[in-house]
Structure 1
Amino acid sequence: MTATAELSGSCLCGKVHYTATGEPERFYHCHCSRCRKVTGTGHASNLFVRGTLRWDRGEELIKRYQLPEAERFSNSFCSECGSRLPFFIEAMGMVFIPAGSLDQDPNFMPQARIFQDSRASWSCDTTDIACFDRYPS
């Protein structure tokens, strides 16, 4: 994707801040049912960075839910506001970052939509739809 990057982000209430440093390897829009459930949306935008994760503040507020029957799915979040947060995947040496938690543009675009066969019929797809900067009038 790109050379070493330093990506920082936070939760909605601002009590948790993090910095991930490393090489971005994957950036996907995931349409699987688990990602839809955990985000409450049609897909999750997930970034994987081979590197390190540092909690700049608020680490004590982080909770993590590991879905018992899932080998590769868990959810890390702020216990105050519920915002999704990154976590380190030990077995892969990668940081999983919910892209919406970033405080700046990561300067690279998603590579693919995954689990497209699980996409909800109402979810975004590759067709053109109207876009608005604010609420439509």
Structure 2
Amino acid sequence: MASEIYQGSCLCQQVNFQVEGAFENFFLCHCDHCKKDTGSAHGANLFSSTAKLTWLQGQDKVKTFRLKDTRHVRSFCQDCGSGLPNLQFDDSLLVVPAGSLDTQLAMEPNGHIFCRSKAKWQAGLESVKEFESFPQ
């Protein structure tokens, strides 16, 4: 069986990476740390204990922030701030922000986690009007 290969980058395109291998989990995290990281309702992260991360360009622009006294880690482009992959737990777990991938991901989220911290405004979002682009 051929190995899965995913390409990814940051918003300013200064950082490019490749992930080779499978993701075991895909979680939408509603913890307060992920909400602050994303400025949104949740983080959307892919997890793999076996996939290999290769930086193709701009690794020197990747900064990693570790929140003191927690297990929370976030890597990002120092120029545009886009979330980027990082290795955690002594490099045994690869965490990839799903939105950083340029390759289409067929995998759907396994679930929502830390739901006790969900934003109150998030309830009923499936009924909010949708627009194809910015509304006129």
| Structure 1 and Structure 2 fold alike (TM over 0.5) | yes
Residue ranges of structure 1 left out of the alignment (5+ in a row): none
Counterparts of residues 1-137 of structure 1 (less than 5 Å) = 4-49=3-48, 50-70=50-70, 72-91=71-90, 93-123=92-122, 127-137=126-136
Shift of 1:5: 1.9
Instruction: Say whether the 8 Å CA contact 2:28–2:109 is kept in structure 1.
Output: yes
* Stretch moving more, 35-44 or 87-96: 87-96
Contact 2:73 2:88 (8 Å CA) reproduced: no
**Per-residue displacement from partner, 1:9-55 (whole Å, max 9, x unpaired)?**
00000000001112210101111100000110011111112321100
Which TM-score applies when normalising by structure 2? 0.89
| TM-score, reference length from structure 1 | 0.89
- Secondary structure of 2:36's counterpart equals helix
Runs of 4 or more, structure 1, over 6 Å off, are none
Structure richer in helix, relative to its length: 2
The structure with the greater share of residues assigned to strand is: 1
Opposite residue 13 of structure 1, the aligned amino acid is C
- Give the % identical residues: 37
1:44-83 CA-partner distances (Å, limit 9, x unpaired): 111112321100000011110111110x211101111111
